[in-house]
Amino acid sequence: MYDFFEGQMLLINKPKEWTSFDVVNKVRNVIRRKYEKKLKVGHAGTLDPLASGLLILCTGKMTKKIADFSGLDKEYIAEITFGATTPTYDLEAEPDTFFDKEHITEDLLNYTLAKFIGKQNQSPPIFSAKKINGQKAYEIARKGKDFEMKKVEVEFKEIQLLEHNLPNNATIRLKVSKGTYIRSFAFDLGQKLNSGAYLSDLIRTKIGDYNLNEATELNDFQEKVNNIII
């Protein structure tokens, strides 16, 4: 039984092309229409619009625990395309710079991936929600203004090459600390390979011990709420 007002933690499978706020808004509206009451709903860690996968939502009094969930390690399956870069480090923008990629082999890729294991100082993408003097970085970037992103310490705990179609692309599993940008990882990987790279697909599969296979689709969630007898 759901108790949304006393406090509920929800595991939702975020669809691609939805923002995290879109999901929060959808869940909030579904519950409000059913109960005709106002309700607090928040998420514990943003997923980019072009990413899909696990999103933790908290309702009611449980929203006070959002920071506990957002601090957990995350696990992703990332598809990375080599030989080009984009301004956003993913497919939100078209590739605009191209590089040679024919030298990228499985051995070179595995050797380079191993260099990321451990703590790293990572620059967040300029097209991100990271705050610069109180303003979101992507808002400044869209105005064409120059600015520098401050590097932050992140940790790559596990990296595994799952499959590849080299030198074109590869699918990689990553377990990382809070605050790690997989888009930045893709860009940095391209640089270390003496080529370019961008994130072409991303699925978040785990947050702490919570798994994507435990998550609910939005349509299924709406149906469950609509069927609650009150």
Token pair in block for residue 194: 């003496």
β-pair partners for 198: 81
Active site residues: 48
C-alpha distances in Å from residue 76, one per residue of 173, 179, 181 = 6, 13, 11
**In the structure encoding, which two tokens stand for residue 118, read together?**
């451990």
Angle between helices 182-192 and 106-114 (to 10 degrees): 120
Residues 6+ apart with CB under 8 A from 206: 54, 73, 74, 75, 175, 212
How distant is the alpha carbon of residue 173 from its chain centre? 13
Distances (CA, A) of 176 to 81, 117, 204: 20, 10, 11
Torsion 48-54-6-4 (CA) sign = positive
Residue 61 near residue 7 (C-beta atoms within 8 A): yes
